[in-house]
Each structure stands twice: as C-alpha cells, then as structure tokens.
Amino acid sequence: MQIAMNTVVTMTYELRDSEGNVLESSAEPVNYLHGGYDNIFPKVEEELHGKSAGDSIEITLEPADAFGDYDEDLVQMEPASAFPSKDLKVGMQFEGEDDSGEVILYTITNIEDGKVIVDGNHPWAGERVLFKATITDVRTAGQEEISHGHVHGAGGHHH
C-alpha cells in the first residue's frame, strides 16, 4: 500500500543537525496520520507521499520548514520575583502567552543578579536539519482517526 491521504504511516526516523549530531531518533517505530493534519513537517509529508513499506527518505529541512527561524523577540529578561518558584534553575520551562494569546514554552537560559533570561524559541530554531526515515508499515486510517485528525493506539482512542 502506498502512502496517501488518510493512511497511517509507521516509520523509524532520525533527525540530525547540520553538523551531523543526532538531535532525535526513534528506537521503536512511530506513526502519524498522513494527509495535512499537521502531525509531521509538511515537507517531510510531501516527500513520504506515494512511498510504501520498506522505502526510505532523506530530506534536508531549512529552518522555516522545521522548527522556525530564531526570533530574538522571544528572548526576554524578567525579574526573578516574576516567577512562582524561588528555586529557579537554568533549563526550567514555563508557559507564557504572546501578544496574540498563543501559548509559548519559555526556557530559562540564564540567571544572574536577580534577573532571569527566558527564551521562547524552540531549542532547534534556526537550525537546518536532516530528516531520515524508513517506512515500516502503511494502513488505511479508521473513520475515528480521520475525524479526530490523529492516530489511535491499539484498542482505540487514547489522548
């Protein structure tokens, strides 16, 4: 069966940065609902379209097609007193909202003299990445999966 609209694709994958370092990989196969449901990078979905189990792809994604360009406006300095926790550490994450009300995950990148630097960019924003995948299975999606826009696990619906 070929990957097409409303198929469930099962694959293993590896994501590398431009220097060849592995950023993320799947030890076990993962799956997603194919067909523009925003479950995978659109350029990767285009590359996978029409492939079958056993096929592999390798595609380089520019920042705009992966984790976005780095946005300096998402880096902010806040007083430590603005945070609910007094035990602040570099690497801690907090949710916040941008001007449009969209939730952004901020990561603390520095703490000094009562000031906290937070960064709302994805850790790999601005990176060109290499995405490699091997398709292990393709099946027709169920009606419930299609209506929900994502794959359901064995035994039905899980959120």
- In this structure, is the dihedral angle defined by the CA atoms of residues 159, 63, 126 and 23, taken in order, positive or negative? positive
Q: What is the pLDDT along the chain (159 residues), one digit of tens a residue?
A: 999 999 999 999 999 999 999 999 998 999 999 999 999 999 999 999 999 999 999 999 999 999 999 999 999 999 998 888 778 999 999 888 877 888 899 999 999 999 999 999 999 999 999 999 999 999 999 999 999 999 987 644 444
CB 41 within 8 A of CB 63: no
Measured distance between the N- and C-terminal CA atoms of the chain, rounded to whole angstroms: 27
Fold of the domain built from segment(s) 7-67+125-148: Chitinase A; domain 3 (3.10.50)
pTM: 0.81
* Amino acid identity for residue 153 in this structure: G
Q: What is the pLDDT, as a whole number, of residue 154?
A: 61
**Among all chains, which residue has been given the structure tokens 């035990």?**
87
Residues of the chain with CATH 2.40.10.330: 72-119
CB 40 within 8 A of CB 15: no
Give the architecture-level CATH label for domain 72-119: Beta Barrel (2.40)
Beta strands in 3-84 (DSSP E): 7-17, 22-25, 30-34, 56-61, 75-79
Residues of the chain with CATH 3.10.50.40: 7-67+125-148
CB 83 within 8 A of CB 92: no
CB 3 within 8 A of CB 52: yes
Q: What is the pLDDT, as a whole number, of residue 83?
A: 85
Q: Which of 92, 93, 100 is nearest to 73 (CA)?
A: 100
Q: What is the pLDDT, as a whole number, of residue 159?
A: 45
Q: What is the pLDDT, as a whole number, of residue 71?
A: 94
